[in-house]
A and B are shown apart, each in its own frame.
Chain A
């Protein structure tokens, strides 16, 4: 019922928000990002999964914060002025992704995104949707479902 035929050309490009984790550029489709905010203080949650930094209030809602550095297996660093929280809507869940920085809003043509090769897939543990080549740059497209749903939940 909801599958209204989209005009053919609108399927060709999508806008993305680019963010950096441990020196690597990643991108998420902008329509999945509710908003971005600076990170002031994240309240730790006792006995939460390792990659969960804690919780924050975002627009009145209690939102878990996944530290992508920890999630991708890098060292944690102290949160500074450049750090950004990407608040993501995934299904009926709202989850914050803690990134080192996020400043860019770009348009990527579907054609310039290739499936992650085996080598790259291994690098990031399978949570990539693809690899976009933009001139000299390489941007990894994040698979949000994988990042959110495969983060181990809190032990009860």
Chain B
């Protein structure tokens, strides 16, 4: 089938991106450690891991024919080799070159993933090339005689078989024979690769790199073992028989991930879907049970009911189990932040310390992937807009180093992520000045934090006259808030002049299954997430008061704005003597959603609505209640927002 190929290719690329991400992360982590060590006493294990990650990245980039990444990784590798051999010092300048190389690598891979033209990274390559070749000018070790046995070194030679190679007659036995022509094979280890394929790792001793290099076209990659081995050492290793007794430095550094499997998220989604289907099936079973109750002897029925409720509990356990598998530590996202902060601080001449806590806090993989860019943006903002320059900080009597705290914690069913800086705080007067059209009143510099957030999240808003390099790229605050709300979370801001700004993101732990209230409007049924509901009150339609465009209900001594969902959604319904109002939001942002009646509580499986034809305001997803029919889930946040906006528009019209 010819239509399988693109699919195969895309899953192949997915594997590549996943693996490339891991290597990029490792490269960044190592570079940061080297930076911290400032050249003094560089831990060899770190250098080793760095080298290995670059090497692997080069290999996999070559396989997917991402030439630019291959080239960059190759030059990184050469530079690192020179450093490792002591030919080049690891000073600040060289470290910056390596950092620039890592940035360029990431840019190339990100561009490839997003399907945009891959940037040319000639500058970074040239710098890396100069770094690697500086050894030649400085001091070159005595030229090796490449095939002299006396100079034999240890190599790890990896062979990845492929159908294409087999077609050319290249198999593992062929490689083994070729290696024996110019070297000694100390051991062979088959390895299962991330994508499920198999590879063979030869531990080889040879002085002939040229011959090794010639094997590259046959699916072979190689790297030198950290230390040159003497024949005596080699013999000892051979006698030991078990190569794993001499662990390499990088293995110690990277830990032993033996107990982990990497699972494609879509497989977990499938599993979650099946579990969700089971929930629906069980609720059908329960409906049927209720219907047949009077036809079944009481004792038998009790037994049926017990099985049913046992099944309900077990299903809940099953779902929670799958959900737990989907949870990953937020640290995966946090890990790259020190790198970002370091880069930005250097570019802007500020001094910034980043404190990270709660890396171990777990959250749904899907959620945290979507939150990557928003968190990145808030951290960039904290460096760019939050933290002041050293001079200003000193002048204000603050320590010269600014501090950004990035923290995560779990509270109940929510995860809270905070990005706090101890900078100048948001200049409320300036904000108010920049946003006169918003109809916002500031009384003596006091601005409701919610209103403040509305302003800074308005699309295109920036306190700077022009977007600068630090904060002016990527997503804006409007996108940050949009993403958070899309994921069912909230964004808050607190700021204090001279003391700093804190952004707080609250996200649900996971998305898949929620408790909901089922509401009827005319002949249509909707589900309302229970977490958003404050209370449900019965309403006599005669008690509603009309005020301009709005209807209000006097409730607990306050005026509660009412949204007639039937009117908003253009659903015709007969007049009823009693209605229900679902109260959502608190305090000033409380709103009553008016429906015909509320018909109980259900546990629902949330399905997302992806197609643009049916993504309408006020609807966040869909679910099935057990009869196969689709029921829409209301987006309570969007609905109450629309009311507030309408009210604000009304106020503006009055002015």
Contacts and interface: CB of A to CB of B under 8 A. Distances in A.
A47 B617 contact: yes
B612 A44 contact: no
B347 interface: no
A62 to B, nearest CB: 5
A153 B612 CA distance: 6
Interface stretch (A1-9, A16-24, A72-80, A121-129): A1-9
A63 B629 contact: no
Interface in A37-65: 40-41, 43-49, 52, 54-57, 60-64
B1 to A, nearest CB: 10
Contacts of A151: 613
A92 B376 CA distance: 28
A2 B1 CA distance: 11
Given A2-B9, A60-B273, A43 B613 contact: no
A154 B629 CA distance: 22
A72 to B, nearest CB: 16
Contact of A47 (B6, B616, B628): B616
Nearest to A152: B613
Interface string B611-625: 111111111011010
B607 A2 contact: no
B615 A154 contact: yes
B613 A153 contact: yes
A93 interface: yes
Nearest to B571: A46
A63 B3 CA distance: 23
Nearest to A51: B613
B115 to A, nearest CB: 13
A4 B5 CA distance: 10
A40 to B, nearest CB: 7
B613 A64 contact: yes
Contacts of B571: 46
B606 to A, nearest CB: 10
A152 to B, nearest CB: 9
Nearest to B565: A46
Interface residues of B, number: 33
A55 B610 CA distance: 11
Contacts of B6: 2
A54 B614 CA distance: 8
A47 B2 contact: no
Contact of B2 (A2, A54, A60): A2
B192 to A, nearest CB: 26
B622 A62 contact: yes
A111 B385 CA distance: 65
Contacts of A95: 611, 613
A66 B622 CA distance: 18
Contacts of A47: 569-570, 616-618
Contacts of A52: 613-614
A63 B608 CA distance: 10
B614 A154 contact: yes
Contacts of B615: 153-154, 156
Given A93-B611, A95-B611, A153-B613, A45 B5 contact: no
Interface string B1-21: 011011001000000000000
B340 interface: no
B614 A55 contact: yes
Contact of B618 (A4, A46, A61, A63): A46
A94 interface: yes
Given A1-B9, A2-B2, A47-B569, A57 B613 contact: no
Given A46-B570, A46-B618, 10 more contacts: A43-B622, A44-B524, A45-B619, A46-B569, A48-B616, A55-B632, A57-B607, A60-B277, A64-B611, A156-B615
5 contacts: A1-B9, A40-B629, A52-B614, A57-B607, A154-B615
List 8 tightest A-B contacts by C-beta distance, closest first. Answer: A46-B569, A64-B613, A2-B5, A153-B612, A154-B616, A64-B614, A43-B630, A62-B622
Interface of A: 1-2, 4, 6, 31, 40-41, 43-49, 52, 54-57, 60-64, 66, 93-95, 151, 153-156
